Amino acid sequence: MIVSSSIKFIGVNDKNIDLFESIYKVPHGVSYNSYVIIDEQVAVVDSVDSDFTGEWLDRLDAALDGREVNYLIVQHMEPDHSAGIAAFAEKHQGAKIVSSAKAFAMMKGFFGTDFSERRIVVTEGDTLSLGKHTLTFITAPMVHWPEVIMTYESTERVLFSADAFGKFGALDADEPWEDEARRYYIGIVGKYGVQVQNVLKKAAALDIAVICPLHGPVLKENLAHYVNLYDTWSSYRPEEDGVVIAYGSVYGNTAKAARLLADELKSRGCKVALYDLARCDTYAAVADAFRYSKLVLAAASYNADVFPAMREFITHLTDRGYKSRTVSIIENGSWAPTAAKVMRSLLEGAKDVTFTEAGVKILSAPNGETEAQITALADALCG
């Protein structure tokens, strides 16, 4: 992957990983990005995961072509980007390490040293000249760890954006950027919308031609598209009009009702995403719940509560700041329905959530009466 003649990509692809952070399914792997800026002085931006430290150092050697490294810039201390620091420091003993004060405190925890004799602590607006290239540091706390900095290079107008603007998927994955970037953002960064908004305001004052994230491709074209998506996601606004139907069904009757509603909505021309919460990628369902403007929660009552996968799903939504959506309820219960009450209570803390008056109540299995309720609900959601 080419950034420019002076800025070289030295990251790696991880195609062996199955779960990112031991949580998120990554069927197409993930990349760990690192960069080296070659000038009168040489700066490396971030390292990679521990399984790839050797490969990364070899790639760095090839890019250096005999040059010495002057600086290692550490933007983020999460181990998929910082695990190589100690090995780098041992190999390149003349290099200074540049990062935030909080990052150096974390290095002490990770490596047993904070590199006190070779560290340079930077904060908002500090600069570092490499010759023709000048780096300006931008603090980005809680995007998505407290120590995060970003780095702007003014000559080539490059923003090294840490975890922002990253995505799941190895660099050769043939997939839309938006889908895996959305799942990555909502899952990992989604709770910190206010902090992302703060960084976007800083970025708006910069003349940016290239964005170099720590995961996924370097972005060079139509940057407004990516920035606008981040603005939408971090503002918790719906990305587009549509309905997510998320259901938890024990014996298939709630699933039948969910599918009936999906068919009704599609017949009206409404965009629909249907998820079986017991079997789907939960975080794909979560991402789509933020993507679309309306959400239907369909669940069986279970142990005087709600189907467990539904409880987990709603918790994921509220943990990430879910708000400003229209929500409908489909409840099933053979003798003492509790699902609707529990689902509503789980969403009590969500801001600006409007429940439709229309809803569906199933007593064991859908019948003519519940099918009429499904039709009425489809009218309310997509009349």
pLDDT tens digit string along 60-96?
Answer: 999 999 999 999 999 999 999 999 999 999 999 999 9
Q: Do 231 and 245 fall within a single domain?
A: no
Query: What is the rounded distance in angstroms from the CA atom of residue 298 to the CA atom of residue 370?
Result: 13
For 286-331, how does the pLDDT look when each residue is reduced to its tens digit (9 = 90+)? 999 999 999 999 999 999 999 999 999 999 999 999 999 999 999 9
Residue 2 lies in a domain: no
Q: Which of 206, 235, 264 is at the close of a domain?
A: 235
Q: Are 301 and 338 in contact (CB under 8 A)?
A: yes
Q: Which of 235, 258, 276 is at the close of a domain?
A: 235
Q: Do 179 and 159 fall within a single domain?
A: yes
Stronger pLDDT, 334 or 123, i.e. the higher one: 123
Amino acid identity of residue 35, one-letter, is Y
Query: What is the rounded distance in angstroms from the CA atom of residue 312 to the CA atom of residue 307?
Result: 9
First-last CA distance in the chain: 48
**Number of domain units in the chain:** 2
Query: What is the rounded distance in angstroms from the CA atom of residue 229 to the CA atom of residue 274?
Result: 23
Containing structural domain, residue 142: 7-235
* CA distance readout (Å), 128 to 43, 122, 164, 283, 360: 10, 9, 22, 39, 62
Find, among 81, 60, 247, 55, the residue nearest to 149 by Cα. 81
Q: Do 124 and 77 fall within a single domain?
A: yes
Query: What is the rounded distance in angstroms from the CA atom of residue 276 to the CA atom of residue 172?
Result: 30
260 secondary structure, DSSP code: H
Query: What is the rounded distance in angstroms from the CA atom of residue 12 to the CA atom of residue 49?
Result: 9
Residue 174 lies in a domain: yes
Q: Which of 235, 265, 296 is at the close of a domain?
A: 235
Q: Do 230 and 244 fall within a single domain?
A: no
- Domain of 342, CATH number, reads 3.40.50.360
Question: What mean pLDDT, rounded, does the chain reach?
Answer: 96
The 3-state DSSP class for residue 188 equals helix
Residue 138 lies in a domain: yes
Q: In the prediction, which pLDDT does 261 show?
A: 97
**Confidence grade of residue 355 (pLDDT, cut at 50, 70, 90):** very high
Q: Which two tokens stand for residue 293?
A: 């403007």
Residue 102 lies in a domain: yes
Q: Is the pTM of this model over 0.85?
A: yes
Q: Do 58 and 103 fall within a single domain?
A: yes
